[in-house]
Amino acid sequence: MGTLSASLLGAANALDTYQYALSITQNNIGNASTPGYAKQEAVLQARPFDPAEGLAGGVSPGPTVNSRDLLAERGVWQQAAAQGDASARNAALATVQNALPVSDGSGIPAALTAFFNAASAWSASPNDGSARQAVMDSAGSLVASFQTTAAAVANASRNTDQSIHDTVDQINRLTTQLANLNAGVQNGGQHDAGLQAQIYSALETLAGLVDITVLPQQDGTMSVSLTGGAPLVIGNDSYALSAGAAAAPANPPIDTAAPPHTVIRGADGSDITSQIKSGTLHGLLQVRNVTIPGLTGDASQPGALNELAQTFAGRVNEIVQAGVATAPGLFVTDPAHPTSAAAKLALDPAMSASLLPATDQNGVSNGVPLALAALASPQQDADKLDSVSYMQFYGDTTAHVGGQLNQAQSDQDLSGQLVAQARSLRQTESGVSLDEEAMHVLQFQQAYQAVAKLVSTLDNLTQVVINMMQ
C-alpha cells in the first residue's frame, strides 16, 4: 500500500511538472512577437528513486532558464545607435540642404547671375539710366536672396534644436521607465519574463537615441550609463539629461552676438556633450554644432554664407567707390557682427541709380560695370574668395553639405542592414521558434497524458487493494 501511495504521489508531482512545462511553452508562444521577450526554457529534474526508502522517483520542476544572450543584445544596441545617428543626420541635413538652392533659377546662384548680367548690360550702355536701375534692382534681389537663405538655415537650426530637446525628453522618459522597472525587479520580479521583456525593449529604444553601457547587477536590475560614463539609471533612480546653450567661450569670440552651440548637461549640470558618441542625439548635435555653424558661424568662425556676403559686398563697394571716391557703396554690412553678414546684408540707402558711377579711376567710361561683370569669371585674386569665384565658392559650400548628406544616407542604409543582422542573430540565440515550441507542446501533452493514465491505473489498483482489505 505504501508503494502504491508513493507511486501515486510521484505521478501527481509529474502531472504538476508537465503542467508547469506546458505553461512556459504556452507563454513563449503567446509572447513570440513581444518586443524584448526572450525564450524561457523549462528545466525538469529527476526525483530520487529508492524503493527501500519509499522514494518512487519521477520528475519535478527545476528553475526556469532564460535564454537571453547579453552579447547578442549588446550587438543590437550598438547597431541601433549607429542607425539612429545616421538617420538623424540624414533628416537634419536634408533640411539644411533644402535651405541652400543650387540651381541657376533660384536662390543666391540665380541672384548672382542676374547681378552679373545686369552689370554686363550696363557696360554696353554706361549712360543709360534704366541699365543703372537694373543693376540696383538686381543688387536688391541679391540682398533678399542672402537674407532668405540665411533665414532658412537659421530655421533649420531651430528645428534641429527642437529635435535635440525632444530626443532628450524621450531619453529621460525611458530612463525613468527603466528605473521603475528596476524597482519592480527589486520587489520580487527578478525572474518575471514579462518584466524583463519591458526592460530590454526599453533598453533597445534607448540605445537608438544615445549610445549606452548596460551593466546587469546581482539583484537583477540594470545600471545604465552613457558610453562616456555619465549615469542614466542606477537601481530605481534615474538621472535626467538636459539640453541648452553652451556657456560663453573662454577666448574672446569673433562676434559677441554669435549663436552658441547646443550642449547636453548631466543631472549635476556638467557639460557631457563630448561623452555622446552615437545615436540620434549625437547625429543631431553634429548637424547643429558642426554643419550649421560652418554656414552661419559661431564664436570661432563667420560661416561660409556670411563670408561670401561680406567679401562680395566689400569687393563691389571697392569697385564702385574706386570710380568716385565720394560715392556711397552699393551694399551695407556690419563688420562688428560677421556672423550676421548674410542675414543683415542691405543696400546702402545713400546709393541710387543716378549716383551709381560708370567711369573708373582710370577714366574708362564703362570701367565700373565692366569690373562688376568680371566678378562672374574673375582673373585676379582680389575678385576671388578662397582662390575661386564667388559662384564657385557658393557651389563648394553647398557641395560640402551635399557630401555630408550622401554619407549620412549611405550610413543609414548600411546601419539598417547591420541592425537587421544583429537582430537576426539575437533571434537565433534567444528568440521564440514557433515550430520548436509546437514540438514541446506535443511532447509535454503526450507525457501529461501518459502520467494521467498512470494515475488512473494506480488509483484503480489502490481501490482494488482497499476492497481486498475490506
Looking at the fold, whether 35 and 81 belong to one and the same domain comes out as: no
The per-residue pLDDT for 325 is 73
Q: Does residue 342 lie in a domain region? A: no
CA angle 418/421/427 to nearest 5° reads 145
Looking at the fold, whether 50 and 29 belong to one and the same domain comes out as: yes
Q: Compute the average pLDDT of residues 382-390.
A: 94
pLDDT > 70: what percent of the chain?
77
Express each pLDDT in 344-356 by its tens digit: 999 999 999 999 9
Count of Cβ atoms closer than 10 Å to residue 464 Cβ: 11
The per-residue pLDDT for 40 is 61
The per-residue pLDDT for 446 is 62
First-to-last CA distance in the chain? 14
Q: Does residue 352 lie in a domain region? A: no
DSSP per-residue string spanning 135-154: HHHHHHHHHHHHHHHHHHHH
Q: Compute the average pLDDT of residues 207-230.
A: 94
Looking at the fold, whether 85 and 53 belong to one and the same domain comes out as: no
Picking from 33, 41, 81, the residue whose alpha carbon sits closest to that of residue 203 is 81
Q: Does residue 335 lie in a domain region? A: no
Contact 262, 293 (CB under 8 A): no
Looking at the fold, whether 22 and 125 belong to one and the same domain comes out as: no
Express each pLDDT in 34-63 by its tens digit: 666 655 666 666 666 565 555 555 665 656
Question: What is the domain range of residue 57?
Answer: 2-67+431-469
The per-residue pLDDT for 206 is 97
- Cα 360 to Cα 163, 349, 370, 372: the distances in Å are 52, 22, 9, 11
The per-residue pLDDT for 53 is 58
Looking at the fold, whether 247 and 140 belong to one and the same domain comes out as: yes
Q: Does residue 363 lie in a domain region? A: no
Q: Does residue 344 lie in a domain region? A: no
Looking at the fold, whether 81 and 62 belong to one and the same domain comes out as: no
Express each pLDDT in 257-314 by its tens digit: 999 999 999 999 999 999 999 999 999 999 999 999 999 999 999 999 999 999 999 9
The mean pLDDT of the chain is 86
Looking at the fold, whether 193 and 81 belong to one and the same domain comes out as: yes
117 pLDDT higher than 70? yes
Looking at the fold, whether 158 and 186 belong to one and the same domain comes out as: yes
Q: Does residue 218 lie in a domain region? A: yes
Q: Does residue 30 lie in a domain region? A: yes
pLDDT > 90: what percent of the chain?
64
Q: Does residue 150 lie in a domain region? A: yes
The per-residue pLDDT for 1 is 44
Q: What is the DSSP letter of 298?
A: B
Looking at the fold, whether 189 and 269 belong to one and the same domain comes out as: yes
Looking at the fold, whether 93 and 129 belong to one and the same domain comes out as: yes
Looking at the fold, whether 84 and 61 belong to one and the same domain comes out as: no
State the amino acid at position 355 in one-letter form: L
Structurally, how many domains does the chain consist of? 2
Looking at the fold, whether 155 and 178 belong to one and the same domain comes out as: yes
